Chain A
């Protein structure tokens, strides 16, 4: 069974940092682009960031550019999203997805004082 498992979410104060992880089970990330997508509860889906298969190319939504950094560790088959300078409006469930076919269950991030 193919599984993507996100972790690292939680409650953080505005201005704080979190690092999300996305690990694969039953598949390998090796040849795929990986994306992070977020969803405010009750709202729609918003693409956040992508990384290509070898980590040489990344992109970000304007709303997170300069604050979030995506990376991958091929040896661990894991993708990370380092989130700095967090804002209240970053509060959402964060999903990782392998080329938009398989999706994880999401990890909630709450930014609040």
Chain B
């Protein structure tokens, strides 16, 4: 199974400041179709997960452009350019290139300092 490792697991940030979350996979996520199936999710308190980013860097409709994804192979990053209060929650990376099983990172909790 592909192991997804996120860091940090807790991220206190100041409003208006940038934030960055790392996600590493135990093997390359380049799929046979040439795409890299790495998604990022936001889960606000009491809500279900919401996909922010798919295929490493493609933003979903309605996602603010302060969220961006980057990376390749086994190393990926989610960046928030300027954190807002509504960004509080837990962020997960997920791989869909080697399945089953589809696997998630442990989650990174973003909180406001």
Contacts and interface: CB of A to CB of B under 8 A. Distances in A.
How many B residues are at the interface, by size bracket? 20 to 34
A46 interface: yes
**Chain A interface helix/strand/loop/mixed:** strand
Interface of B: 39, 41, 48-51, 54, 60, 92, 94, 96, 99-107
Contact of B92 (A45, A61, A97, A105): A45
Question: What is the interface residue range for chain A against chain B?
Answer: 10 to 19
27 contacts: A35-B102, A44-B104, A44-B106, A45-B49, A45-B107, A46-B104, A47-B102, A47-B104, A50-B99, A50-B100, A50-B102, A59-B99, A59-B100, A59-B101, A60-B100, A61-B100, A61-B101, A62-B101, A95-B48, A97-B49, A100-B51, A100-B96, A100-B102, A101-B51, A101-B54, A103-B49, A103-B50
Interface string A50-70: 100000000111100000000
Given A95-B49, A101-B51, A101-B60, A47 B106 contact: no
